[in-house]
Structure 1
Amino acid sequence: MRKVLELPVDIFTKYPAKVKHKSYQSVYQAGSIKVFGDSKQTEENPDSLGCYLVLSGRGCDEIFHILNKQGYSFGDLFWRCEWLYGSEFHFTRLDIAIDDRNETPYFTPEQIQRKCEREEFIGNSNSYRFVESSYTEYCDTAKTVYIGTGKSNLSYRFYDKDKEVSMKYQKPYEEIGSWKRTEIQLRENKAHTFAMLFKDNPLDLGKLAFDLLAGNLRFIIPDEKQSNRSRWRTCQFWKRFLGAVEPLQLHIETPQSTLLETQRWLKEGGVLSAVKGFCFLEEHEALGGLERIEDMLKRIRYSPSFGNKMIGHLSRINREDLIPYVQDDMKKGGVS
């Protein structure tokens, strides 16, 4: 018999919101965890029932923290949803990331690109495209290879996570270390089926992910003697990758919280410099007709985006006791 799982609903703040192609009118948000609800009354939904949970990568980290603190896993969460809502509970999208942090990666996006250009792969989709991004002075360009269309039920992305992080956090590429990411994107029935497999096998996500890759995508070596491409041998880098990478954990710690990003913006964007200047003028009674910092702060309220960063931060450091004060300030509205 499973324990009853209850999420702390008091940490959520309600906002008006709209979701494209859906009828939800409100979002209940805590940090990066979002639950859309209050659906419009329609002929198909006369009782305005239903909700829509959206978890980004950071949202997964935050809800993992909440679950783990109570001794629960994502498998428990999925089981609880299925038990409560049966066939009405459905996954619409699920992204799985596999990170290769080896100094010498199993493969690079450039290798995947060459395989695609030569049509040396067999998958559930033959479509592919490449995107190249410039990451300024911190590193050279980064490549992303997409196999499958964005709307297909199963597609893949291969990209330079190290270069993305280098740009995002303005760190030299060498400090990040080699970091290549493979992402599997599942939609609709494939997403739901995979989630239910994971629900029943919460410790086997890595095996499930690699089984999925092995069964649906293969990079191959041309064989002039064999006209049937399905009989071409699997290339060495793909065999090594599927057979040697450590099992994937659903929970991956993010290197920095969103408040640290805001702190960097404060320090580097000139905001603190301006505050220091106002304090200097006030200290020397040289404000003239300008307002004091203290008087301005009395009218400032946390914006929804910044307030939710604070809520996420407080949840991660086990200071939920301060969350109601942040929520109260956000509800008062005012200048953000």
Structure 2
Amino acid sequence: MENKIIFDWLSFTVKTSRVDVNGVLLETITEKNLISLLGLENVDFEELPGIMGINGFQKRLYSNSITIHYDSRLVDFMWVEMSGQGCRAFESLSTHADYNFIFDFIINNSDIVNVTRLDVAYDDFQGLLDVYAIADDTVPDYRDTNNYNFVSPLRSHSVNVSNKGICVTIGSCRSDIMFRIYDKAAERNKSDDIPHWVRCEIQLRRDRAYEFIRLLREENETVDNLYFLVLNHYLRFVEPDPTDSNKSRWNLAKHWVAFAYSVTTQKKSLFVKPGLDYNLAKLDKVVENQFAGAVFTYLKCHGIDRLVTTLDEKFSKVKLNRKYKRLLDEQNALKQIVELNDEIYPDLSYIAYINDEFCEV
């Protein structure tokens, strides 16, 4: 697998109206306008109640990990939130699937739009990132939190080890910039399938997120160059030098050099829009759009019983494709969870299956 850079989170707010300098109403913006901005007019959004405590939003529209919070009693804006899976859904389902279209809207309407978060992630499959060495440099001695082998204006740092692998965090989730480096293969339970998958994620907030977008659109920068400019400006892992107390003069750590300067060795952009993983929606689309005629004709000629019997006999003898097996396992697990919750919580409105986790909404 080739290394790649992706957008893995995007959220922004849009005021519900635009007024002139005299306070005269010029334009009213609705949640439907935001759906059009995203190019998701043909996607079914579910209307849900607002999440308690979040800016007084009373309603939200949800689909494929994309949420539009609106109708607030406390603020005069709406809030668009696209998580990692939301970004994948946007790339697959939007009629334009163009981040630049959204970025241009943000820049051209800066009087009513604020970027709240932008995550840019580098996925390493080739061994450039040694998450164990990075963890050792971040916390070489757990008894002394001021002892660390990196140079950064960001002082907050931590290492978390769990059954989901190692995760190193540099910076605070409340700050305008934070780095998160972790074993993505372990987090996704794919270590047996993917020998090395480490992600280095830059989380940008507010002005830092806006400046990244501005440089991308107004200064003709590339995602690759901006990613590494931010990385090398805010974070360097270094080799301890006992003869020099000034860390900023220490040499780059050997395990960090190849990654930090890898952008200069690339002949083409690493930025991609990977889209959705194979899911039930994609399966439905393939069957209903590509094979609908063949399935319809087969059923008319032979009936449903022969189709079911034939497929059962065929796939009891051959190994089912991994993506189909995973999909079946997910659906069976979902049915079990729903049946269990029907017994325990018969009045539960519904269960949503999001990002490989079951979440009560």
Range 6-15 or range 73-82, more displaced: 6-15
Return closer, same or farther for 1:86/1:304 CA change in 2, 3 Å cut-off. farther
Q: Which residue of 2 aligns with 1:82?
A: 107
1:223 deviation in Å? Answer: 2.3
Q: Work out whether 1:94 is the aligned partner of 2:118.
A: yes
Q: Give the paired residue count.
A: 257
Hey, what does 2:273 align to over in structure 1?
A: 251
2:157 pairs with 1:128: yes
The Cα of 1:228 is off from its aligned counterpart by: 2.2
CA distance in 2, matches of 1:230, 1:144: 24
Distance 1:19 1:124, change over 3 A: farther
**Letter paired with 2:57:** Y
Higher-helix-fraction structure: 1
Q: Which amino acid aligns with 2:120?
A: I
- 1:36 maps to 69
Partner of 1:320: none
Give TM-score scaled by structure 1 length. 0.67
* 1:16 paired residue number: 49
Distance in 1 of aligned mates of 2:59 and 2:247: 51
Q: Distance in 1 between matches of 2:80 and 2:228?
A: 26
Q: 1:305 aligns with which of 352, 355, 358?
A: 352
TM-score by length of 2: 0.62
Counterpart residue number, 2:133: 111
Paired with 2:150 and 2:162, the residues of 1 have a C-alpha distance of 24
1:267 maps to 2:332? yes
Q: Is 1:219 the equivalent of 2:246?
A: no
Distance 2:185 2:40 in 1: 35
Among 17, 22, 27, which residue is 2:60 paired with? 27
Give the AA of the match of 2:132.
Answer: E
Which residue does the alignment assign to 1:285? none
- Given that residues 205 and 250 in structure 1 are in contact (C-alpha distance below 8 angstroms), is that contact kept between their aligned partners in structure 2? no
SS in 1 for 2:77: coil
Structure 1 residues 22 and 162: CA distance shift in structure 2, 3 A: same
Distance 2:161 2:84 in 1: 23
RMSD, aligned CA: 3.2
What is the CA deviation profile of residues 75-123 of structure 1, one whole-angstrom value per residue up to 9, with x for unaligned ones? Answer: 111212433x322211111211111011xx1232211111122411001
Structure 1's 194 and 269: CA in aligned 2 closer, same or farther, altered over 3 A? closer
For residue 38 of structure 1, report the CA deviation from its aligned partner: 1.0
Residue 64 (str. 1) matches residue 91 (str. 2): yes
| Residues 1:91 and 1:203: Cα distance change in structure 2 (over 3 Å) | same
1:152 aligns with 2:175: yes
User: Higher strand share goes to which structure?
Assistant: 2
Q: Does 26-35 or 223-232 show the bigger shift?
A: 223-232
In the TM superposition, what whole-angstrom CA distance separates every residue of 1:198-218 from its partner, at most 9, and x where no partner exists?
Answer: 334677112111110011101
Residue equivalent to 2:301: none
C-alpha distance in 1 between matches for 2:88 and 2:48 = 22
Whole-angstrom distance in 2 between the partners of 1:58 and 1:116:
29
The Cα shift of 1:195 comes to 2.5
Is the contact made by 1:76 and 1:199 (CA closer than 8 Å) also made in structure 2? no
d(CA) in 1 for partners of 2:274, 2:228: 17
Q: Kindly state the Cα deviation for residue 177 of structure 1 after the two structures are TM-superposed.
A: 2.5
In the TM superposition, what whole-angstrom CA distance separates every residue of 1:286-309 from its partner, at most 9, and x where no partner exists? xxxxxxxxxxxxxxxx94736x99
Change (3 A) 1:14 1:115: same
Q: Write the distance in 2 (CA, Å) between the matches of 1:80 and 1:184.
A: 23
Shift of 1:233: 1.4
What per-residue deviation string (whole Å, max 9, x for no partner) do you get for residues 282-336 of structure 1? xxxxxxxxxxxxxxxxxxxx94736x99xxxxxxxxxxxxxxxxxxxxxxxxxx9
- The answer on whether the counterparts of 1:160 and 1:180 sit within 8 Å (CA) in structure 2 is yes
Identical-residue share of aligned pairs (%): 24
Matches of 2:221 and 2:53, distance apart in 1: 35
Q: Distance in 2 between matches of 1:16 and 1:199?
A: 36
For residue 221 of structure 1, report the CA deviation from its aligned partner: 1.5
2: distance between equivalents of 1:153 and 1:213? 14
Task: List alignment gaps of at least 5 residues for structure 2.
Answer: 1-35, 141-147, 282-323, 340-348, 356-360
